[in-house]
Amino acid sequence: MSDRPRPDTAPGPAAAMRIVHLSDLHFTARPGRLTAAFDKRLLGRLNYLLRRRGTLHEEWFDLAVPRIAALTPDCLVCSGDVTCVGSPAEFARARARLETLMQAVPVPLLYVPGNHDAYVADRDCRAALADTFRFLNGRRCRLEQMPFALRLGNVSFLMLNECTPTGPFSSAGQISPAAAEALTGWLSAPRPPAERRVLIGHYPTRGPDAAPLPRRRRLGSAGLIIEALAQGRLDLSLCGHLHSPYRLDGPGPGMEVCAGALTAAGSLSVVDIAGDGRLSQRFLDLRPA
């Protein structure tokens, strides 16, 4: 497989940008090795078998591919949790499924890990995450380079990794001190009036009612993002983690969009950014009738 970056096919400066945002696909696969039975993956697998299996519909992803292509996006965003327990077998499955989307819609795909993708500290799982991250991002960056900034048209993106392996009963995330410093620098840089700043992370800063999430599920240091949205230094925060889609407008001009789980809620978010920077958002419901 070539290690060269995939060419970006974004529109030129001041052109309109359409972002199609999907999240929380939670592809699964049978455990590949016996050691998987002795770490957090055991709990994750049980959780999947007892609770999640009946709620996840992988086939909705297949149905979504032509719908996404018909939207003619300029950019795709996947805000994490492509797996259930972050095993090499699940990452292989996620890569294969997402490759069909990448071939059908040959535009930049920007993927950040979710807490289920960074589930355990197992060396093989971490290597599978790193390889998948590089593959899905068109080989334009490596996991250890995050936070990673890139510009497409009149949009400046910052991709944030908020996920590291946690204890058995925690799904909390964190912005590391180094990531917080990079985020602050990115938010403070001068910009032309029509440029829009879009942050891509896994965690919402608040729940659908704008209240903080429970401690064991929330993002530490989320106040940095909330403050930037309120002050208009950040225009849009794209995230997932919660499986029902919702949008938070205000306080202030910034917007946060949780895309929801495509394979559980059938949801997809579409953001249009006009050449003058005006921003509009809508959700699509892809569940079969």
Residues lying near Fe ion in the complex (CB under 5 A): 24, 81, 114-115, 241
Q: How far, rounded to the nearest angstrom, does the alpha carbon of residue 98 sit from its chain's CA centroid? A: 13
Of 156 and 166, which CB lies nearer to Fe ion in the complex structure? 166
Q: Which two tokens stand for residue 274?
A: 């006009």
Q: Going by C-beta distance under 8 Å and a sequence separation of 6 or more, which residues neighbour residue 61?
A: 25, 97, 101, 262, 263
Helix (H, G, I), strand (E, B) or coil at 205: coil
Cα–Cα nearest to 157, from 140, 173, 174, 144: 140
Helix (H, G, I), strand (E, B) or coil at 18: strand
Of 105 and 213, which CB lies nearer to Fe ion in the complex structure? 213
Of 156 and 263, which CB lies nearer to Fe ion in the complex structure? 263
- Tell the smallest beta-carbon distance from residue 117 to Fe ion (Å): 9
Rounded to whole angstroms, the Cα distance separating 40 from 36 reads 8
Helix (H, G, I), strand (E, B) or coil at 11: coil
Of 73 and 114, which CB lies nearer to Fe ion in the complex structure? 114
- Tell the smallest beta-carbon distance from residue 104 to Fe ion (Å): 24
Identify the sign of the CA torsion 94, 100, 101, 102: positive
- Tell the smallest beta-carbon distance from residue 202 to Fe ion (Å): 6
- Tell the smallest beta-carbon distance from residue 25 to Fe ion (Å): 9
Rounded to whole angstroms, the Cα distance separating 143 from 116 reads 15
Q: Going by C-beta distance under 8 Å and a sequence separation of 6 or more, which residues neighbour residue 223?
A: none
- Tell the smallest beta-carbon distance from residue 163 to Fe ion (Å): 8
Of 81 and 195, which CB lies nearer to Fe ion in the complex structure? 81
How many CB atoms neighbour CB 43 within 10 A?
13
Of 24 and 74, which CB lies nearer to Fe ion in the complex structure? 24
Taking CA 103 as the corner, what is the angle to CA 102 and CA 106, rounded to the nearest 5 degrees? 70
Rounded to whole angstroms, the Cα distance separating 236 from 271 reads 10
- Tell the smallest beta-carbon distance from residue 116 to Fe ion (Å): 6
Is there a contact between 239 and 275 (Cβ–Cβ < 8 Å)? no
Of 81 and 90, which CB lies nearer to Fe ion in the complex structure? 81
- Tell the smallest beta-carbon distance from residue 277 to Fe ion (Å): 30
